[in-house]
Amino acid sequence: MFQNPSPPPRGLIRRPAGKLAISVALAALAITPVVPSAMAKAPDRTPTAAAKLPYQNASLPVSKRVADLLGRMTLDEKIGQMTQAERGAVDADPSKIGTLGSLLSGGGSVPTPNTPTAWADMVDRYQKAAMTSRLKIPLLYGVDSVHGHSNVLGATVFPHNIAIGATRDPSLARRTAEVTAQETRATGPQWAFAPCVCVARDDRWGRTYESYGESPDLVTKMETSIDGLQGAPGELDDPNHVLATVKHFAGDGLTTYGTGSNDKTTGTYPIDQGIAQVDQKTFDKLALQPYVAAVKKHHAGSVMPSYSDVDWTEDGLGNRINAHANKALITGWLKGKMKYDGLLISDYNGIDHIKPESYTFDQQVVAGVNAGIDMFMQPWNYDQFEASLKTAVTTGKVKPGRIDDAVTRILTKKFELGLFEHPYTNRTHLGEVGSKQHRALAREVVGKTQVLLKNKPGALPLKANQKTYVAGSNADSMTNQAGGWTLSWQGGDGPIPGTTILDGIKSNTKSVTYSADASAPIPKGSVGVVVVGETPYAEGFGDVGGPQWTGADGKLRPSQTMQLNAKDKAAIDKVCAATSTCVVLVVSGRPVIIPQTQLKKIDSVVAAWQPGTEGAGVADPLFGHTGYSGRLPVSWPKTLNQEPINVGDRFYDPAFAYGWGLTTRAH
């Protein structure tokens, strides 16, 4: 999801129809919700304190409660339920809160102070305003808990999905999601915009770390995270669970390099928000397969469309259509063929990506609603969206049944979450946010995500109490090891509680010399550990060759390259030349190219990914407290020119193949 404190640039994107659009169009037309008309004037049945109306009766089935409430709503109230605004926007106009269906905190949109209690107080304040509305319909509050409730200072931050994929352990994916859900709901939000079930096929994409891997089978296997977030069917109202969102539907991991949007103010996005130029068979396997299990087996409560376009090249027509306007996919395949009964939430200003070169905003609204999107994330222009949608309904461009279908899906989730009975935050687990138990699990997870790529006999594990020389830009950087979507959208610069990798090394040996740039003298007889890799980033700005961006500290960040920077390369050369054993830990959200000439001089290489707040977990297998067991969820190229490179390619010659990972035993 594209989330920053101000509206994002409008992407230059559109998408094709192709064979899939033709094949499922009839299914799309067959879906006609049997619900009351949105155009009918709602009777004046405002609930009173003395009367309990059917929708307020928790003993009735959810379907009956929804139907009763829907029949009491005006068109304005229905459209309000379809609208999600940024909480920072409504702070300037609190009177609007009661008319909206949902609020969100975008990346970096946090209360002051940024504490768990302040979060709960903030969400409850908005909920209190919603409860003053005529029908007292509670708010849904959404947040990007993509690797823990990472907007909250002090929350447990887990490794990103790519690292979880390296464990090949579905139970571990579920357990991390359980903690994420508990910490999220304890602070107020009931809705997580996670997990990403994309299949990342080009590591130059800045969202690669949000994918569990390059194989649809692996991604599907790790979808147990949905169960961890939501619990079993019927458990959404439990204070340990939140509504999950599988994203980005569909094909975001397949976008072709060089097809991203181009905006004069931000530069070129070489792959993000681009075009998936694939044939339908490939699209079905790589893009749609993970959604079958997500909605059929794991019952994901919500789905978020992609910014990307799809171009089924097999028909030779070059047709393109944006995912937010793709009725064949949303209404035909997902709601029709898959019989999906959850809700569709647009991405951040997602409808802006519908034919931006030719469509007006009003046309984009109509296209998105008619495609089957139910709730619209319009963070700053929510009032414009509401006005546009009302006009579309009154002029017949959007049918009343489509409105009622959308509101039915939204209200159903609110009832299932138990919000009508318990609208305010259940603070039972508030004190467990960032607890020792949660951090212990995170440390366990970190250890199991480590992938040992190379190991000269006798090099690893390191022995305790031996002289250790530590260098590299990522050895003592909580910001770098936490990565993107931590405290802010592109990654935070704040004092994040936790342990760095250097902390973990120091806890294992008393004789440690640390020098980030390796300028300090290297004691004779030392083993060397050089921690290198990437700086934080997220979508767009993390694309290889993407635009530069300014961090929270005001410093301009360079575009990512998937290459080691000059200082890290120099540190590796110096340390490996002067130590008895030289270990390189790569902290990154995807493979980073290590020159083959340099790789030969390194005794051991570990893909440490971005471990989150518990960097000490990196040291556990490094010193033999646990064994190395991770396996690559993506292919690791020799050179950047090999991208995209994936297992099964006709010409496949990576530095380290998909599934590669050496093992060691614990002491």
Please name which of 262, 440, 455, 273 lies closest in space to residue 354, comparing C-alpha atoms: 273
Count other C-beta atoms under 10 Å from residue 71's C-beta: 17
For the stretch 479-520, pLDDT in tens is 999 999 999 999 987 789 999 999 999 999 989 999 999 999
Q: What is the pLDDT of residue 548?
A: 83
Element (H, E) at 454: strand 451-455
For the stretch 333-392, pLDDT in tens is 999 999 999 999 999 999 999 999 999 999 999 999 999 999 999 999 999 999 999 999
Q: What is the pLDDT of residue 599?
A: 97
Q: What's the token pair of residue 547?
A: 């635009």
Lowest mean pLDDT among 38-47, 318-327, 427-436, 505-514: 38-47
% of the chain at pLDDT higher than 70: 90
pLDDT surpasses 70 at 560: yes
Domains in the chain, number: 2
Tokens 């949303």 belong to residue: 330
510: domain CATH number is 3.40.50.1700
Q: What is the pLDDT of residue 10?
A: 30
Q: What's the token pair of residue 631?
A: 């396996």
Mean pLDDT for the stretch of residues 427-442: 98
CB-count burial class (<10 Å; 0-12, 13-18, 19+) for 512: middle
Q: What's the token pair of residue 224?
A: 């147990």
Residue type, 339: K
Lowest mean pLDDT among 95-109, 312-326, 531-545, 567-581: 312-326
Please name which of 438, 424, 481 lies closest in space to residue 618, comparing C-alpha atoms: 481
Q: What is the pLDDT of residue 94?
A: 86
**226/574 Cα distance (integer angstroms):** 45
Angle at 104 between CA 48 and CA 338, to 5 degrees: 90
For the stretch 227-247, pLDDT in tens is 999 999 999 999 999 999 999
Residue 51 lies in a domain: no
Residue type, 289: Q
Contact residues for 303 (Cβ-Cβ < 8 A; gap 6+): 245, 246, 247, 249, 291, 294, 295, 334, 340, 342, 343, 344, 345
pLDDT surpasses 70 at 432: yes
CB-count burial class (<10 Å; 0-12, 13-18, 19+) for 639: middle
Are 441 and 566 contained in the same domain? yes
Contact residues for 256 (Cβ-Cβ < 8 A; gap 6+): 271, 274, 275, 276, 277
Is residue 263 part of the annotated active site? The answer reads no
Count other C-beta atoms under 10 Å from residue 267's C-beta: 18
**633/212 Cα distance (integer angstroms):** 7
Extended beta strands in 250-342, E state: 262-263, 267-268, 275-278, 302-305, 309-312, 321-322
pLDDT surpasses 70 at 8: no
**521/513 Cα distance (integer angstroms):** 9
Q: What is the pLDDT of residue 530?
A: 98
Lowest mean pLDDT among 386-400, 532-546, 575-589, 626-640: 532-546
Task: Please report how the helices 400-416 and 361-371 are oriented relative to each other, as an axis angle in degrees rounded to 10.
Answer: 70
Residue 316 lies in a domain: no
Q: What is the pLDDT of residue 40?
A: 45
Are 246 and 354 contained in the same domain? yes
Please name which of 569, 565, 473 lies closest in space to residue 514, comparing C-alpha atoms: 473
Are 496 and 619 contained in the same domain? yes
Q: Are 474 and 480 in contact (CB under 8 A)?
A: yes
Residue type, 271: I
Residue 667 lies in a domain: no
Element (H, E) at 21: helix 18-29
Residue 54 lies in a domain: no
Q: What is the pLDDT of residue 51?
A: 60
Torsion of CA 237, 242, 243, 249, to 10 degrees: -160
- Average pLDDT over the chain reads 91
pLDDT surpasses 50 at 21: no
Residue 393 lies in a domain: yes
Q: What is the pLDDT of residue 493?
A: 75
151: domain CATH number is 3.20.20.300
pLDDT confidence tier of residue 11, bands split at 50, 70 and 90: very low
- Give the 3-state secondary structure of 360-429: CHHHHHHHHHHHCCCEEECCCCHHHHHHHHHHHHHCCCCCHHHHHHHHHHHHHHHHHCCCCCCCCCCCCC
Mean pLDDT for the stretch of residues 435-448: 98
For the stretch 33-62, pLDDT in tens is 434 444 444 445 555 544 689 999 999 999
Are 96 and 190 contained in the same domain? yes
pLDDT confidence tier of residue 269, bands split at 50, 70 and 90: low
pLDDT surpasses 80 at 542: yes
Phi/psi of residue 15, nearest 5 degrees: -140, 165
pLDDT surpasses 50 at 104: yes
Count other C-beta atoms under 10 Å from residue 612's C-beta: 30
pLDDT surpasses 90 at 557: no
Mean pLDDT for the stretch of residues 278-286: 93
pLDDT confidence tier of residue 314, bands split at 50, 70 and 90: low
Q: Of the residues 413, 430, 447, which one is the last residue of a structural domain?
A: 430
Report in angstroms the alpha-carbon separations of 397 from 355, 371, 383. 18, 12, 19
Q: What is the pLDDT of residue 422?
A: 98
pLDDT confidence tier of residue 267, bands split at 50, 70 and 90: low
pLDDT surpasses 50 at 5: no
pLDDT confidence tier of residue 320, bands split at 50, 70 and 90: confident
pLDDT surpasses 80 at 281: yes
CB-count burial class (<10 Å; 0-12, 13-18, 19+) for 444: middle
Q: For residue 344, give its domain range.
A: 23-34+72-250+286-305+338-430
Q: Of the residues 404, 430, 456, which one is the last residue of a structural domain?
A: 430
pLDDT confidence tier of residue 16, bands split at 50, 70 and 90: very low
Q: What's the token pair of residue 245?
A: 């969102």
Q: What is the pLDDT of residue 369?
A: 98
Does residue 558 have a cis peptide bond before it, meaning omega lies within 30 degrees of 0?
no
Are 584 and 631 contained in the same domain? yes
Are 220 and 345 contained in the same domain? yes
Report CA torsion sign: 589, 623, 473, 456.
Answer: negative
Mean pLDDT for the stretch of residues 94-99: 91
What are residue 454's DSSP bridge partners? 605
Residue 372 lies in a domain: yes
| Residue from 77, 223, 352, 539 carrying the catalytic annotation | 539
Lowest mean pLDDT among 10-19, 119-128, 208-217, 403-412: 10-19
278 vs 69: which has the higher pLDDT: 69
Q: Of the residues 380, 399, 430, which one is the last residue of a structural domain?
A: 430
| Residue from 86, 169, 347, 352 carrying the catalytic annotation | 347
Q: What is the pLDDT of residue 48?
A: 52
Does residue 189 have a cis peptide bond before it, meaning omega lies within 30 degrees of 0?
no
**406/425 Cα distance (integer angstroms):** 26
Is residue 347 part of the annotated active site? The answer reads yes
pLDDT confidence tier of residue 660, bands split at 50, 70 and 90: very high
**123/579 Cα distance (integer angstroms):** 54
Does residue 250 have a cis peptide bond before it, meaning omega lies within 30 degrees of 0?
yes
pLDDT confidence tier of residue 122, bands split at 50, 70 and 90: very high
Are 396 and 490 contained in the same domain? no
Are 424 and 494 contained in the same domain? no
Q: Are 484 and 490 in contact (CB under 8 A)?
A: yes
**162/632 Cα distance (integer angstroms):** 9
Residue 63 lies in a domain: no
Q: What is the pLDDT of residue 375?
A: 99
Mean pLDDT for the stretch of residues 525-534: 97
Mean pLDDT for the stretch of residues 259-286: 80
Are 149 and 296 contained in the same domain? yes
Are 205 and 342 contained in the same domain? yes
Q: What is the pLDDT of residue 313?
A: 58
Are 403 and 466 contained in the same domain? no
Residue 182 lies in a domain: yes
Are 484 and 586 contained in the same domain? yes
Q: What is the pLDDT of residue 1?
A: 59
